[in-house]
A and B are shown apart, each in its own frame.
Chain A
Amino acid sequence: MEKFITLRSTAIPLNIENVDTDQIIPARFLKATDKKGFGDNVFRDWRYKKDGSVNTSFVLNNSDYKGSILVAGNNFGCGSSREHAAWAIVGYGFKVVVSSFFADIFKGNALNNGLLPVQVSEPFLSDILNEIESNPETVIQVNLEEQKISIERKNISEKFEIDPYKKTCMINGYDDIDYLVNNKELIEAFEAQKIF
């Protein structure tokens, strides 16, 4: 897993609530047996019309907006457990997703793939969305060590929460498998005394 410490980037506003994993990556693209290529189909049915032509009104197709931060509405990533959603977002080039609320499974999947979910307050989310929408050049700074997200030119920032263990994993690029495999003795001991 790639390490994450700080990021300074412009951002893309996706001002929609309840963005579900079927929108992030529709089920028909889940037939692959590796993790590659999902970025090509991220938000497929919003980016392209049914006839395959580009939907110019969708924000990812608006060349004014660039960057590796996606800023989305409340309850981002609800729906299925498909980690393909996180692979698709990472594959497209995002490193951070900002929202006022994340669905549980998506949040875990993101963290397991070096994608940082930054949960902010509703007012701060509105501020960021307004700033980016009025000026696509707006730079957002994310500092994982300080757990702080800032809108650079406005000089406003907010602290965000992250599980301390997950924070360590992100900063060092560790994943859970190493930790678990290194604790085999504990697991075996548990199995030996487990009654049911």
Chain B
Amino acid sequence: MAQTTSIESDARLMAKIARGDSEAERELIELHFPRIYGLACRMLGDQSEAEDICQEALVRLWNTADDWTASAKLSTWLHRVVYNLSVDCLRKRRHMMGSEDVETANLFSEQQSGIDEYASNQTADIVNAAILSLPERQRTAITLVYHNELGNIEAAEIMDISVEALESLLSRGRRKLRDNLFDMRRDLI
């Protein structure tokens, strides 16, 4: 029922955007941009690239406003586009660098500068770096479920995987995070 209500209210919001309602535009950006930005930052480890990806996704959404049908949740649609664009971006980066190791190493160095801006203490810095060192799909699953607080079905739909596969990614991601932070865990908790 809540899902239906959300889909209907999303459709009303999109209809307003198609009519050029500036208040609706602001509402949509304020509601969805922070969440998709968080996902893109976590996936890419780079805030300016994350902003570009979010802008691309939002422009695509604006362009579909006229034809928006009440069959999908806006948040699912947006998260999915951001997820796919981020995967493409990572793939290009990997291709340019020549190997996955370089990508991970790069992420780590980029993260540090990015994290300094948004984390307010040392614990957050360390944990953020540990999250960003997780494999791409594990950190995406963790971000969607823990930080963007999406349900398991929606998160699985965004990543185009089954709920079982999502649960496996979450378990492995959490375990790896715990292992990575094991030595410093006593100080952190």
Whether chains A and B associate is no
User: B-side interface residues toward A, CB under 8 Å?
Assistant: none
Binding site for B on A (CB under 8 A): none
